[in-house]
Structure 1
Amino acid sequence: MAEEEEIRRHLVLVKPFSLEDEKDSEHAASNVIRKILSLFKNVRPGSDITNFQLPPQLNLPRSQLQSYNEMIYSFSGEDLLGECSRRNLPIERLKSVVTWNISTLRPLIFGMSPYNPVVGETHHVSNGHINVLAEQISHHPPVSAIHATHEKENIDVTWTQYFTPKFRGAYVDVEVKGKRVMKLLNREETYDMDQPRLIVRFLPSPGAHWAGKVKIKCLETNLEAELHLNSDSFIERLRGNNNRSIKGKIIESSSGNQLYDIFGHWDK
């Protein structure tokens, strides 16, 4: 035990990139936008760019697996994952699962990307009651698998995903394939979750934003949530939608009766 405590005292978790880091990157975006567009000069619109490689100077000093793990364990001091099981009513548990899901939608740093992990690479983090293990399980396509547990609340999360990016001229449209499954073992409930799209826009203003529809469903409680994420596009501004806004609803699956409205911003 003494040896374990000594190790824990010297354990340092790398601080996740914050909103301040993102603001700095947006300020510097004009310095990299021309370089990025020059990389695509020989790429035809509509092309799959899954195997497209960024030059090393545009890589973040971390692996993609570490970035995935940060989505799960880093909540600015709040245990949002454990809260999913602590609530007594099914509707309150679903609301907590929705909150946790939104919290994983971190703002991305435009023009910067983590290093692609190699097959068999792993990344493990233990933070409080949360343990997270990520592994790169495939190279073509590049599939990552994450398994997380919350020891105190007996929660199990599995998460697999890979990207299918396509070049669209003024932006890159990234379809995120895979699924997230959260099991609240003490409650005997399973929540299935879709994943949003990622839009990396070059013009008229550069930025990287989550967009599209996400569905969260629990068969045992007959409840589901539907989220719509708006990207920061020129069209969305014309429609009066705010930057990074989110709208949605919680309904009874069998009847379609709406119980709650969801609205706000996914980065706040």
Structure 2
Amino acid sequence: MITIITKQRIETDAVLTAPLTLDGESDDHYRSPNLVKRILGLLKNVRPGSDLTHFQLPPLFNIPKSQLQCYGESVYCTGTDLLRKCADAETPLDRLTSVVAWSISTTRPLIFGVAPYNPILGETHHVSRGNLNIVLEQVSHHPPVSALHATDDQKGIDIIWCQHPFPKFFGISVETEVHGKRQLKLRKFGETYTMNSPKLLIRFLPFPNVEWTGSVRIACKETGLEAELSYKHNVFCRRNHRSINGRIIDSSSSKTIYQINGHWDRTVTIMDIGTGKVRVIYDVKEAISGLSTPYVKDPKGVSDSESAMVWSEVSRGILTKDWEKAREAKRGIEQKQRELQKQRDSKGEKWAPKHFNVTYSTETGWDCSPIESKVPPAPIAVPI
């Protein structure tokens, strides 16, 4: 079960809430009565197969945080520092295995029936955890595209993500393909690991649930090692619920080195094909349980475009269940964005991201490259 708690250390207009975890006794306070009926009521005029990119949820169905924050939390909110394990591993095979574990850790559990806010154009989220500095920016609104850049100079780690979710409605479910590329660079070894994201599947019937599904490929061109992961869902059999399996191979020979098995919300193991030895590479209780809430370290350094500032009034309304206040605040944000777009259009101006160079190709899709090589320390921090 999942619970979210607010925690603020320094007085500021920013509203920060605890990350989504496996901890807690109940998440019922984020669920409205007759949830499935209400959601299907919202979607009654939507045709099966329709793109839901422009679909706006009322605050009753929002959690008090932006999608940018959710993306960021999957990188900076961890119980064990899996990223540093990637940088500290001695052999290419151990490094790829560590990258696989880290990649799985970014697959976070979600609450059925509620979703984060859709980020506005130019919204940012800047957070530090120790020496790891992360910045995210919403670089496109229609279609929604989010970019992430993280650096840890002490360990020589660089992360670049480009996320373009594409949700479709299929009558009794919503399936979201997450387009875009993820890169993890280990500068010390001159290695770049590229990977994609699994799909997000939301089912309304026969049993409401949220799952990750589909295939993930993690490849390192420099070492020739690859990992193939398959996220599976099965609403009728708890034993196979949220299962994951796959293998680690040498791409030059297509030889399987390790078999991967487990559940992304429990533990994942690898078995050495040569020796039959099995060991745990990922334990969700260690990775994403007991996570700390980010706090404002430097109130003056928080930008007006920061997610926790942009949505602060909406979040306060949700947290106090003052739905009218939340609705008014959300309408105000949306109206301001429409006015800003009209102003740009009337002047013939084109909006440009602050932190990323963004390109689009029909062949390769969206690409987001950081303008700066390093991410500076942030005014928002995560306790270690």
TM-score, normalized by length of structure 2? 0.63
Could you tell me which residue of structure 1 aligns to residue 83 of structure 2?
81
Give the deviation of 1:44 after TM superposition. Answer: 1.3
Give the deviation of 1:173 after TM superposition. Answer: 1.1
Amino acid paired to 2:257: L
Question: In structure 2, what is the Cα distance between the partners aligned to 1:45 and 1:241?
Answer: 31
**Alignment RMSD, CA only?**
2.1
Question: In structure 2, what is the Cα distance between the partners aligned to 1:134 and 1:22?
Answer: 31
* Among candidates 19, 23, 27, match of residue 24 of structure 1: 27
Question: In structure 2, what is the Cα distance between the partners aligned to 1:250 and 1:109?
Answer: 31
SS in 2 for 1:124: strand
Give the deviation of 1:24 after TM superposition. Answer: 2.3
Alignment CA distance shift 1:25-1:252 (3 Å)? farther
- Structure 2 contact 244–264 (Cα < 8 Å) conserved: yes
* Among candidates 46, 57, 66, match of residue 63 of structure 1: 66
- Structure 2 contact 217–229 (Cα < 8 Å) conserved: yes
Gaps of 5+ in 2: 1-8, 267-384
Residue 245 (1) aligns with residue 243 (2): yes
Question: In structure 2, what is the Cα distance between the partners aligned to 1:102 and 1:255?
Answer: 25
State the structure with more CA Rg: 2
Give the deviation of 1:27 after TM superposition. Answer: 9.8
Question: In structure 2, what is the Cα distance between the partners aligned to 1:251 and 1:30?
Answer: 48
- Structure 2 contact 20–109 (Cα < 8 Å) conserved: no
Give the deviation of 1:151 after TM superposition. Answer: 2.5
Alignment CA distance shift 1:258-1:113 (3 Å)? same
Residue 231 (1) aligns with residue 233 (2): yes
Determine which structure has greater relative contact order: mean sequence separation of CA pairs < 8 Å that are 6+ residues apart, divided by chain length.
2
* Among candidates 189, 203, 206, match of residue 187 of structure 1: 189
Give the deviation of 1:241 after TM superposition. Answer: 5.9
Could you tell me which residue of structure 1 aligns to residue 171 of structure 2?
169
- Structure 2 contact 32–60 (Cα < 8 Å) conserved: no
- Structure 2 contact 17–65 (Cα < 8 Å) conserved: no
SS in 1 for 2:180: strand
- Structure 2 contact 162–180 (Cα < 8 Å) conserved: yes
- Structure 1 contact 85–153 (Cα < 8 Å) conserved: yes
SS in 2 for 1:247: strand
Question: In structure 2, what is the Cα distance between the partners aligned to 1:133 and 1:219?
Answer: 26
How many corresponding residue pairs? 255
Could you tell me which residue of structure 2 aligns to residue 221 of structure 1?
223
- Structure 1 contact 26–207 (Cα < 8 Å) conserved: no
CA offset digits 1:43-72 (Å, max 9, x no partner): 111111111111111111111111111000
Alignment CA distance shift 1:19-1:232 (3 Å)? farther
Could you tell me which residue of structure 2 aligns to residue 41 of structure 1?
44
Amino acid paired to 1:41: K
CA offset digits 1:213-232 (Å, max 9, x no partner): 00000010010000000124
TM-score, normalized by length of structure 1? 0.90
Could you tell me which residue of structure 2 aligns to residue 3 of structure 1?
none
Q: How does 1:186-205 map to 2 (within 5 A)?
A: 186-205=188-207
CA offset digits 1:105-124 (Å, max 9, x no partner): 00011111111111111001
* Among candidates 156, 159, 164, match of residue 157 of structure 1: 159
* Among candidates 197, 206, 228, match of residue 208 of structure 2: 206
Deviation larger for 80-89 or 21-30: 21-30
CA offset digits 1:203-252 (Å, max 9, x no partner): 01101111000000001001000000012434xx4xx9611000010000
SS in 2 for 1:19: coil
- Structure 1 contact 29–110 (Cα < 8 Å) conserved: no
Could you tell me which residue of structure 2 aligns to residue 256 of structure 1?
254
Question: In structure 2, what is the Cα distance between the partners aligned to 1:155 and 1:108?
Answer: 27
Gaps of 5+ in 1: 1-8
- Structure 1 contact 214–228 (Cα < 8 Å) conserved: yes
Runs of 4+ residues deviating >6 angstroms:
none
Question: In structure 2, what is the Cα distance between the partners aligned to 1:197 and 1:218?
Answer: 22
Give the deviation of 1:15 after TM superposition. Answer: 2.1
Amino acid paired to 1:153: K
SS in 2 for 1:101: helix
Give the deviation of 1:10 after TM superposition. Answer: 4.7
